[in-house]
Amino acid sequence: MVLIVLALGMSPLVGAEFMPKSDSGQIDITLEADKGSRLEDVDKLAAQVETKLSKNPAVDIIYASVGSSGATASMSGSNEASFMVQLVPKSERKGAEQVAEEIRQSLKDISGAKTTVTASSGISMGSGGAVALNIRGDDLDTLRTLSKQVVDIVEKVPGTRNVSSSLEDGNPEVQIRIDRQRAMAFGLTPAQVSSEIKMAVDGTTVSKYRSDGSEIDVTITSNKKESSDMDTLKQLTILTAQGSIPLNEIASFELSTGPVQIDREDQTRQGTISCDLLNRDLNSVTKDIQAGISALKLPAGYSIDFGGENEQMMEAFSSLLLALIMAVLLVYVVMVVQYESFRDPFVIMFALPGAVIGIVLALLVTQRAFSVNAFIGIIMLIGIAVANAIVFVDYLKQRLEAGMERTEALLETGRVRLRPILMTALATILAMIPLAIGLGEGSETNAPLATVVIGGLIAATFVTLFLVPVVYSILDDWGQKFKKKSAPNTEDIPLA
């Protein structure tokens, strides 16, 4: 019982995460150059990245895509490039996370670009990184200020990598404000002016040229598009009923930056700060971030909460906890019906608390975090651990029904049932060892499940041989005392 209490006390030392990270042998890299960079300049930066990647002995294949026309769906402009890196077999290299960190450090000295390196787990957990913080409020400038403060906090937490914000600097743009009164004086509407500007900058497809079964777009655009700048836009010719006028006659110009995107949830503007993790579990990093954010003074109407994998982890653990409770109750009810007794199934169920000792120690020794797969392993363990206790108690009842004294029956049961209990436990443990070791790429996903089953079954086996007999004898003593108290006193009955 002391060991069980100590194991429960040590449980906070075990980390927690949503799903175990899997080494799929693939690393994804995103390169983002300065806003407005030309495709040719981004291609030169991408070539530098390829050169550095080719020098890493763990890299086997490099696939690069530059600009928004690439195969990667996340590309959003000509100032970005993406890389998919396939690593050599797992037996010839370090783990994918370690290789990703080496690549991350080697790309730091590339000036004029921001790189994001992520080891792909092969399992999609939704958008964003392992940790995601949602900042909600109405004003974009306030949200942007708060997001920068949160980014600074997250970057200082050990184990965080690739910290990013959805409210980062937007794309540079020229804001043209039309003077409606002057435009109306020339017989122009804002829609007409906008159409002229669009035709000059982007061009307009007016027809298609067909030749030998293929079609080619015929586009009208300004002949000064290649040298378009602020002065060119100001002198852009706009046709009116009175003749041609330059655009600056009816509009003002201002250089600015626009938001990349504006996210909303429940009609409230929202910014998201996300990051990946290295050599730390999700639960411990979340606690450190919460401690840093607690010192922030948020304006009225603004809030910060955790989303991403942390939210998914809490929801999954809640559902699995309900499944665990139902599994325990169902096993107990079935045994009550089978034994026609509440005491014997209660004794058998005492094998389960002892499994906590092995579960906690196994996760601590292997330095694995508690996850959804580990939780499923605990639910599996209920049936396996109870089976050994049933073998013990069932033979014990046979000895007692045969007229054997209780203590002698307990000793005899322990001696006779020792071999079948150990054989049953060892068969399961040995079958789970290859899964717990995590042999092969992608096998890390189910390793926590096997670790929990092995550790819990070892502890539950010893509990079956020691704690279950003791609990049975104690409950039997209490039952006999209760019977003596409830039995009528025959000495006070007068004789006829």
Domain locations along the chain: 2-12+341-485, 23-120, 129-170+259-318, 172-257
Q: How confident is the model at residue 77 (pLDDT cuts 50, 70, 90)?
A: low
Q: How confident is the model at residue 75 (pLDDT cuts 50, 70, 90)?
A: very low
Nearest CA to 245 out of 180, 186, 178, 184 is that of 186
The backbone torsions φ and ψ at residue 265, rounded to the nearest 5 degrees and listed phi first, read: -140, 125
pLDDT attached to residue 490: 53
Can you read off the two tokens belonging to residue 307?
A: 């989303």
Q: How confident is the model at residue 357 (pLDDT cuts 50, 70, 90)?
A: very high
- Tell me: pLDDT of 453 over 70: yes
The backbone torsions φ and ψ at residue 24, rounded to the nearest 5 degrees and listed phi first, read: -90, 0
- pLDDT for 230-283, tens place per residue? 777 788 888 887 788 888 888 888 877 766 677 888 888 888 888 888 888 888
pLDDT attached to residue 456: 93
Can you read off the two tokens belonging to residue 65?
A: 């895509």
Q: Average pLDDT of 288-299?
A: 88
Q: What percent of the chain has pLDDT over 90?
A: 18
pLDDT attached to residue 322: 94
- Measured distance CA(184)–CA(205) in Å, rounded: 28
The backbone torsions φ and ψ at residue 450, rounded to the nearest 5 degrees and listed phi first, read: -65, -35
- pLDDT for 402-426, tens place per residue? 888 888 999 999 899 889 889 989 9
pLDDT attached to residue 488: 61
Just give the CATH number of 23-120.
Answer: 3.30.70.1430
Q: How confident is the model at residue 451 (pLDDT cuts 50, 70, 90)?
A: very high
- Measured distance CA(217)–CA(301) in Å, rounded: 51
Architecture of domain 172-257: 2-Layer Sandwich (3.30)
Mean pLDDT of the chain, nearest integer: 84
pLDDT attached to residue 379: 92
pLDDT attached to residue 67: 80
Q: Average pLDDT of 464-474?
A: 86
Just give the CATH number of 129-170+259-318.
Answer: 3.30.70.1320
Written as one letter, the residue type at 84 is M
Domains 2-12+341-485 and 23-120 fall in the same CATH topology: no
- Tell me: pLDDT of 430 over 90: yes
- Domain 2-12+341-485: which topology? Multidrug efflux transporter AcrB transmembrane fold (1.20.1640)
pTM above 0.75, yes or no: no
Question: Quick one: three-class SS letters along the chain?
Answer: CHHHHHHHHHHHHCCECCCCCCCCCEEEEEEEECCCCCHHHHHHHHHHHHHHHHCCCCEEEEEEEECCCCCCCCCCCCCEEEEEEEECCHHHCCCHHHHHHHHHHHCCCCCCEEEEEEEECCCCCCCCCCEEEEEEECCHHHHHHHHHHHHHHHHHCCCEEEEEECCCCCEEEEEEEECHHHHHHCCCCHHHHHHHHHHHHCCEEEEEEEECCEEEEEEECCCCHHHCCHHHHHCCEEEECCEEEEHHHCEEEEEEEECCCCEEECCEEEEEEEEEECCCCHHHHHHHHHHHHCCCCCCCCCEEEEEHHHHHHHHHHHHHHHHHHHHHHHHHHHHHHHHCCCHHHHHHCCHHHHHHHHHHHHHHHHCCCECHHHHHHHHHHHHHHHHHHHHHHHHHHHHHHCCCCHHHHHHHHHHHHHHHHHHHHHHHHHHHHHHHHCCCCCHHHCHHHHHHHHHHHHHHHHHHHHHHHHHHHHHHHHHHHHHHHHCCCHHHCCCC
Handedness of CA 410, 415, 418, 420 (dihedral sign): negative
Written as one letter, the residue type at 18 is F
Nearest CA to 169 out of 29, 272, 30, 35 is that of 35
pLDDT attached to residue 73: 41
